[in-house]
Structure 1
Amino acid sequence: MSLLIERAHYFVSAHNMRQLPPDEGAEVAFAGRSNAGKSSALNALTRQNALARVSKTPGRTQQLVFFRVTPEAHLVDLPGYGYAKVPLDLQAHWQAFIDQYFRTRQALRGLVVVMDIRHPLKEYDRQMLSYAVQRGLPAHALLTKADKLSRSQQIISLNKVKKELHEAFGDTVGVQVFSGESRLGVDEARGIIGGWLGL
């Protein structure tokens, strides 16, 4: 059951392909622009307050952080992207690393892209989604911080994003409203992620 996701704990961090754990089992990657609410989403999904606090401050070494759910299932936290402060050579390294990870990682079962519901589908979001679509992997967008909007505003934003995603990627990308604060959409997202991980 997807409740197993609550067992997630820090496992390992990788700055390059050599440092990745063995390419086996199933893993789901989480991506999101800086301040989109990715850490809050991971914490809400795992019902832990500080799981994703291992996360990096802007501009520090970029790495993939693996959280182990079971020996065969992992959540992978990709560094928050969109920071102008990151040096260009580090941006280039990260771009090459993430590109290779998406092209070659057999354990990768799906991608969750976290977007602030008030500022969705920026260039970076589309780029990450296209990585998954090109690999034929399922992707799911969480429109976070939904508690900042009224219910009617949430529906308007959700429908707009659905339409844009359909035009760009067909039916390969799911989308939902989400709030780590109010726990809106947590069970729905857990069901999807748990399904990808085979939990």
Structure 2
Amino acid sequence: MSNHPISGIANQVKIVIWDLDETFWKGTLSEEGITPIAEHTDMVRALVDRGIMCSICSKNDFDTAKAKLEELGIWDMFVFPHIDWTPKGQAINTMLERMGLRAENALFLDDNHLNLEEATFFNEGIMCVDANLDLTGILDLPQLKGKDDRKHSRLDQYRVMEGKFAEMKSSGLSNEDFLR
């Protein structure tokens, strides 16, 4: 496995951040439509079963993307998704901050090299992989071994964090005021 085309995954992975168009699925949601990639759906489920979280950073319409992911039966496996038309580098930074994770433990998958470079610029130490590469075998890497979490306790923890963040946002309080 040392000849695996995916290099640059040096650290323990705690979160995999997926781009959607031409990465998680084939095609572009806002244009010609998409073709699901079953292996990627299976990969998300396997990662969450290992306690490795999955998120999304995609330039798309939120409601359309959410509806497609619900149709695929996979929406509930993602935490802190960022789906809008803003730049990805700072969005990933904010996402990791809200989740209390370090960039060194994040893996970003995207088919666009400019998005990968931007992610690296705003998130020092993040591991980026060009999604044009063959991603099969990525689950065999020791950095993505995780721990048995088929009960999804980590997923549940991040769901609670997500809920608290949404509550804070809707309350209009600052982080400190909300926590107080």
TM-score strictly above 0.5: no
TM-score by length of 2: 0.40
Structure 1 length-normalised TM = 0.37
Q: Considering fraction of residues, name the structure with more strand.
A: 1
